[in-house]
Amino acid sequence: MAWTKTKTAVVAAVVIILAARTTNVMERNSGDQDSFQGKSDARFDEAKKWALAFIMFADAHGNQLPNNFDQAKAYVPGLSDSNWEIVSGGDENSFVNPSKTILLREKESRQFPGGKFLKVYAFADGHAQRISSPDNNFAALEKQRGFLIRPAKN
């Protein structure tokens, strides 16, 4: 299914609404901003925004996803790329299963207060997920869940 500008606009609107809700909740619970949950919510929101920026970039560049974060920053300004790594690239229309294809993920996991580890992932269809691991072995979890990686061909 081809991605259209209308779909991009709808996704952008949804992300903006969800971001506003997340920001409002975090402002009401200002003590949570430094907590693990507050940071997790912020990273989750950031992942969705990055995914949107990548999709919007591809829409404007013949379905080619950006090769780096600087190319995508123009579409959703103000984001930091320091916590993220790009995992998949190339022609977004060539992804066999966008909902399972990891677009980007957190570079480093974060440990829950209870001991488990957490990473946030963004997928090629624009959704994001929080994934937890008891032993910090995210490669095994990615394989177990059938996640796909499609490196860009240069």
CA-based R_g, the chain, Å: 15
- Where do the DSSP E strands lie in 38-150? 84-86, 102-106, 110-111, 117-123, 128-133
Q: Express each pLDDT in 114-135 by its tens digit.
A: 899 999 999 999 999 999 999 9
Distance CA 104, CA 33 (A): 23
Distance CA 131, CA 89 (A): 21
CB 123 within 8 A of CB 100: yes
- Positions of the chain with pLDDT under 70: 1-34, 153-154
CA distances from 11 to 8, 72, 88, 92, 139 (A): 5, 16, 20, 16, 29
